[in-house]
Structure 1
Amino acid sequence: MNTQLTLNDPLVNRNWADYYDAVRGHPPRNTLITALNLFDAQENFGNKLAVDLGCGDGRDTIELIRRNWNVLAIDGERTAITRLKNRSDLDHTLLQTQIIRFEVLKLPLETDLINASFSLPFCPSSAFFTLWEKIVKSLRSGGRFSGQFFGDRDSWAIYPSMTHLSCQQVEILLKPFEVELFQEQEQDGLTPLKENRHWHIFQIVARKR
C-alpha cells in the first residue's frame, strides 16, 4: 500500500463539516435543475419520489421539496443529516432521511428520480458497480438519474478509496437510459476548500427506458 496516497486521500481525511461550511448557500446543481425541468415539461403526476444520494446539508434536497417532491435524503455522514434537519427552509412533511454508507445501501423501487450530485465517486470501486445496479433497478421506467461521475484523468484518480471512470465506462453504465445531458468537462481549478485540482467530470441527466 502506498502510505502517502492513503494519507492524502480526500475521502479518508475529508473534514466534511468544513466542506459544508464552504458550500453553504450555494444553489442546487444544474444537473438536478435540468432533470426537474424535464419532468415539469413532460409529465404531470403526484406523489413524486426522489432519492438524494450524498445529500450533504441539503442544497438539492431543498430544491426538490420546494417543487413538492417527496425526498429520501441519504448520506453517510451524521453531520450532514443533522444540518439538513436543522435548516429553516425545510418542509419536514416531505422528507425522510437515512444515514448509511453506499456499500450497504438499499433503495426503494419505482423511484422517479435518483439525484447524486458529486457523491458517487466517493463510493469505493469495489462497491461502485453493485451500487449502480441498485440505482438502475430502483428507478421506474421513465425515471431519471441526475449527477456526476469523475473521469480517469481527474487528479484524484490516484486515490484507491474512490471511483473514476473512462468515457467508455460511463457510456456502458448509461446503456439502460436515454441520455438527455452528457457533458464531459476537464479543467484545472480549486475545490470548495481551495485545494488545487485537475477536474475531469461527466455531467449526466438520463431517463430510464
Structure 2
Amino acid sequence: MTKQPPTPPESPGPAFRHGFTRHWPGYFEAVVGKGPRETAVRALDAFAREGIPAEGQEPPLAVDLGCGEGRDTAEMLKRGWRVVAIDGTESAFEFFARREGLLEHPNLETRLEPFETCSIPVCRFLNASYSLPFCRPEAFDALWKVIRSAIEPGGRFAGQFFGERDTWASIPDRSHHTRLRVEKLLLGLDVEYFKEDESDSVDAEGQDKHWHVFHVVARQPE
C-alpha cells in the first residue's frame, strides 16, 4: 500500500516540544534525516564483532519498538537484518515513505500497534530508542516483561529510560524511573553500556526542558 508523505508543518520547532505534546508528525518532521541513535549503533557494532549477521545465513530478526520515522530501522536493514518495525502512530510509516526503498524493502515488516497491546516476536535484537518513556506507567511492567522474554539468548536490548528528574516526569502518561529502578530492570542482563545524562535545553518559546536520560545496551546471557 502506497501512502503519500504528510504535508510538512510550517515550522517544525525543537523536536522535544512535539514529544511533550505527543504531536508525532511534528516530531518526525523535526528529526527527519538524522542518523541512527548511538545506542542502536553500539548494539549493531557489537553484533558485527560477533559475526552477526553471518554471510550466507538467514538474516537475524530485529524489532524496532517505537520506530518513529525510521532512522534506526534503515540502519538495521542496511546492515543485513530483518526488521519488524512497530509504532503506535500511522504517521511514522508515512515518514518511512520518504526514505527511498524503505517501505518496499523485502526484509521489513511494519506493524501499527500501541505499546499497551503490541505483540513482540522473539528476536535477536530489540531496539527501543527514546520510545519506552511514552509507554503509559500502568502498562510499563507488563511491556518490559514481554521485552525481556522476547530477546533470544545472546541477543541485545538497546534504548533509553527517562529519569525522575526529567521535566516530563510530572506528566501522568509518561514512564520515568530512578537509577536504582533502571538497574533493577536490567538485572539478569549483561550491561555493556550504561550512561546517565542530565542536560538543559531551551525551546523556541524560551521554555526550559531538563533532560534526565539513561542510555543502555544490554545482552541476554546465553
- CA distance in structure 1 between the aligned counterparts of 2:97 and 2:60, rounded to whole angstroms: 20
- Structure 1 residues 176 and 154: CA distance shift in structure 2, 3 A: same
Deviations 1:41-85 (A, max 9, x none): 023434210000111110100000000110000000001012214
- Aligned match for 2:125, one of 108, 113, 127: 113
- CA distance in structure 2 between the aligned counterparts of 1:68 and 1:199, rounded to whole angstroms: 33
TM-score, normalising length: structure 1: 0.90
- Aligned match for 2:100, one of 84, 88, 104: 88
What is the one-letter code of the residue matched to 1:179? V
- CA distance in structure 1 between the aligned counterparts of 2:110 and 2:85, rounded to whole angstroms: 5
Contact kept, 8 Å, 2:60 with 2:82, in 1: the verdict is yes
What is the one-letter code of the residue matched to 1:64? M
- Structure 1 residues 39 and 103: CA distance shift in structure 2, 3 A: same
What is the one-letter code of the residue matched to 1:94? N
Q: Which has the higher contact order (CA 8 A, sep 6+)?
A: 1
1:105 Cα deviation from its structure 2 partner: 1.2
Most deviating of 24-33 and 85-94: 85-94
Percent identity for Structure 1 against Structure 2: 43
1:180-191 paired onto structure 2 within 5 Å = 180-190=192-202
Provide structure 1 residue ranges, at least 5 long, that are not aligned to the other structure.
1-8
What is the one-letter code of the residue matched to 1:16? W
Stretches of 4+ aligned residues off by more than 4 angstroms: 9-12, 190-195
Residue 4 of structure 1 corresponds to: none
- CA distance in structure 2 between the aligned counterparts of 1:106 and 1:203, rounded to whole angstroms: 24
Contact kept, 8 Å, 2:18 with 2:27, in 1: the verdict is no
Matched, 1:40 2:48: yes
Contact kept, 8 Å, 2:20 with 2:168, in 1: the verdict is no
Contact kept, 8 Å, 2:160 with 2:214, in 1: the verdict is yes
Residue 206 of structure 1 corresponds to: 218
Residue 14 of structure 2 corresponds to: none
Matched, 1:163 2:175: yes
Residue 142 of structure 1 corresponds to: 154
What is the one-letter code of the residue matched to 2:113? I
Deviations 1:114-168 (A, max 9, x none): 0000000000110001000000000001100001000011010001100000000
What is the one-letter code of the residue matched to 2:184? I
Contact kept, 8 Å, 2:18 with 2:24, in 1: the verdict is no
- Aligned pair count reads 200
1:193 Cα deviation from its structure 2 partner: 9.9
What is the one-letter code of the residue matched to 1:142? G
- CA distance in structure 2 between the aligned counterparts of 1:24 and 1:194, rounded to whole angstroms: 23
Q: Residue 159 of structure 2: SS of its match in structure 1?
A: strand
Contact kept, 8 Å, 2:87 with 2:113, in 1: the verdict is yes
Contact kept, 8 Å, 2:67 with 2:87, in 1: the verdict is yes
What is the one-letter code of the residue matched to 1:78? E
Contact kept, 8 Å, 2:19 with 2:27, in 1: the verdict is no
- Structure 1 residues 103 and 88: CA distance shift in structure 2, 3 A: same
